[in-house]
A and B are shown apart, each in its own frame.
Chain A
Amino acid sequence: MADYNKPLPEVNEDNKEFWTGCKSHELRFQKCKSCGHIRWPASIICPICHSRDLQWIVASGKGKIYTFAVYHVAYHRGFENDLPYTVADIELEEGPHILSNIVGCSHHKVRCDMPVVLSWEDITEEFSLPKFRPLS
């Protein structure tokens, strides 16, 4: 883990709870206490009803691939050894769309609407990344 050479998350007041949750292998999102909308990215007000009243919930970690792209070029040297790798937009059961990677599946087999489930990757002492693998 000491030689991890990819970009690390940048923690701020909005996303601190999210990344803290990831460290405990929990995918946490804000849920509006007023209208029930579950949102991502995290913010101080609900984008639907503008309420500031919120609670954090733990997502099931299940979803499906809304879309994806397969990188054959590394735009950062940390990803050179991963080529080709898959970036995907996951539509979670709870509603939010989240950007992540598809792991445990050849890029040739990745499809839109494929059901996926969380697969945690512990990258440093401080951070774990929520990645996704096919549900099978």
Chain B
Amino acid sequence: MVISYGHNAFSSDSMRRMLIERNGDDAVFGHFGAAAGYALAAQRAMCTFHTGPETWKHIAVGQRKWANMNPLATMYQRTMSFDDYYKANWVVEPFRLFDNCLMTDGGRAIIITSSERARDLRHPPVLIAGIGQHNPSYDVHQSTHLTGPTGAKKSGEMALKMAGVTINDIDACEIYDCFTYTVEISLQDYGFFGPGEGEDWFKDGTIEPGGRMPVNTSGGQLSEAYYMGLTPLSEATMQLMGRCCERQLGPTTNTKSPEIILCSDNGGILQTHNCTILRRP
């Protein structure tokens, strides 16, 4: 089975039109699209626990460092400092430009087959060890629990249980990162840190090359390319196969050689969530 995704979101206006098309009477008040929906969730989080740009800058800059090691990444040749992050324009506050993911022309595909068939293939296979799905589904501005837990909590618990591992066994994460805040709230709800502890957890290069928990090692949707859920899944698969060249987890990047990688996907405005645990055979 092939799972594929392709789009010319950068050169055409199709993605933009999909994202800002009228959603009921929200448009009457000038409310459109995904950035603003996630901004509402992020703003509520900012008044509920310690978070904001001082946390998100570590995500934007950390992922950019991975992209700078990935020749396929849109931002391969563009470095980013904390200063660059803060100097970028607001889009929908509290999000600045680099809190937002990219619009990309391109695609990704993953082949899924039985482990028996996979034995004969040229590349070493990667196993799907656990899958969890949880869909809170509330429209963002009718939710009375916007700060979570999001679907990441239950889907993460389900996926870890199915895989027979705990959060402490995870070597790296490939997180659906439509916005920087999505990375924070997903990792928080998976249990990597408590509410408001994100800034402390991210600082000092935790998710960067050489860090103790590498996250979005291709640059992610913020700095590599936006291919929906296939950006995280394809990168985790390639990392576990050992096919990531300069950015390969292990001795090359002074990180732990990965056995188990956690991937996430989100739909709507934190309305659906999938967690997938991949591992080496």
Q: Could you list which residues of chain A lie within 8 angstroms of chain B, going by C-beta atoms? A: 6-10, 15, 40-41, 66-76, 78-79, 82, 84-85, 87, 89, 91, 97-101, 107, 111-113, 129, 131
Chain B residue at minimum C-beta to C-beta distance from A89: B141
Chain B residue at minimum C-beta to C-beta distance from A71: B92
8 A Cβ contacts from B116-158 to A: 140-144, 146
B72: interface (CB < 8 Å): no
CB-CB under 8 A for A6 and B30, given A72-B89, A84-B93, A87-B36: yes
Q: Is the CB of B30 within 8 A of A76?
A: yes
In the assembled complex, the Cα of A99 lies from the Cα of B37 at a distance in Å of: 11
Chain B residue at minimum C-beta to C-beta distance from A79: B30
A5 vs chain B, min Cβ distance (A): 12
Q: A-B contact count, CB below 8 Å?
A: 95
B22: interface (CB < 8 Å): yes
Specify the main secondary structure of chain A where it touches its partner.
mixed
Q: Which 7 A-B pairs have the closest CB atoms?
A: A112-B47, A70-B93, A67-B44, A69-B39, A72-B90, A75-B32, A7-B27
In the assembled complex, the Cα of A87 lies from the Cα of B27 at a distance in Å of: 10
8 A Cβ contacts from B183-216 to A: none
A127 vs chain B, min Cβ distance (A): 8
B24: interface (CB < 8 Å): yes
In the assembled complex, the Cα of A78 lies from the Cα of B142 at a distance in Å of: 25
Interchain CB contact (< 8 A) of B44 among A66, A85, A87? A66
Interchain CB contact (< 8 A) of A69 among B28, B36, B47, B143? B36
Q: Is the CB of B92 within 8 A of A70?
A: yes
The contact sample of 21 A-B pairs, CB cut-off 8 A, is A6-B27, A6-B28, A7-B27, A15-B25, A67-B41, A67-B43, A67-B44, A68-B40, A69-B39, A69-B40, A69-B92, A70-B93, A71-B92, A73-B91, A75-B32, A87-B30, A87-B31, A87-B40, A99-B26, A112-B46, A131-B29
Interface size class of B (residues with CB under 8 A): 20 to 34
Q: Which residues of B contact A131 (CB under 8 A)?
A: 29
Q: Which residues of B contact A97 (CB under 8 A)?
A: 141-144
Q: Is the CB of A129 within 8 A of B144?
A: no
Chain B residue at minimum C-beta to C-beta distance from A87: B31
Q: Could you list which residues of chain B lie within 8 angstroms of chain A, going by C-beta atoms? A: 20, 22, 24-33, 36, 39-41, 43-44, 46-47, 89-94, 140-144, 146
In the assembled complex, the Cα of A89 lies from the Cα of B36 at a distance in Å of: 12
In the assembled complex, the Cα of A89 lies from the Cα of B28 at a distance in Å of: 14
Q: Which residues of A contact B44 (CB under 8 A)?
A: 66-67, 112
Interchain CB contact (< 8 A) of B32 among A40, A70, A76? A76
Q: Which residues of B contact A6 (CB under 8 A)?
A: 27-28, 30
Q: Which residues of B contact A41 (CB under 8 A)?
A: 24, 142
Given contacts A67-B40, A67-B44, A98-B141, could you give 17 more A-B pairs where the C-beta distance is less than 8 Å?
A6-B27, A7-B22, A8-B28, A9-B28, A10-B25, A41-B24, A69-B40, A70-B90, A71-B36, A71-B93, A72-B89, A75-B32, A89-B140, A89-B141, A91-B144, A99-B29, A101-B29
Q: Is the CB of B92 within 8 A of A67?
A: no
Q: Is the CB of B43 within 8 A of A72?
A: no
Q: Which residues of B contact A71 (CB under 8 A)?
A: 30, 36, 92-93
B139 vs chain A, min Cβ distance (A): 9
CB-CB under 8 A for A100 and B40, given A10-B24, A72-B91, A89-B141: no
Chain A residue at minimum C-beta to C-beta distance from B91: A73
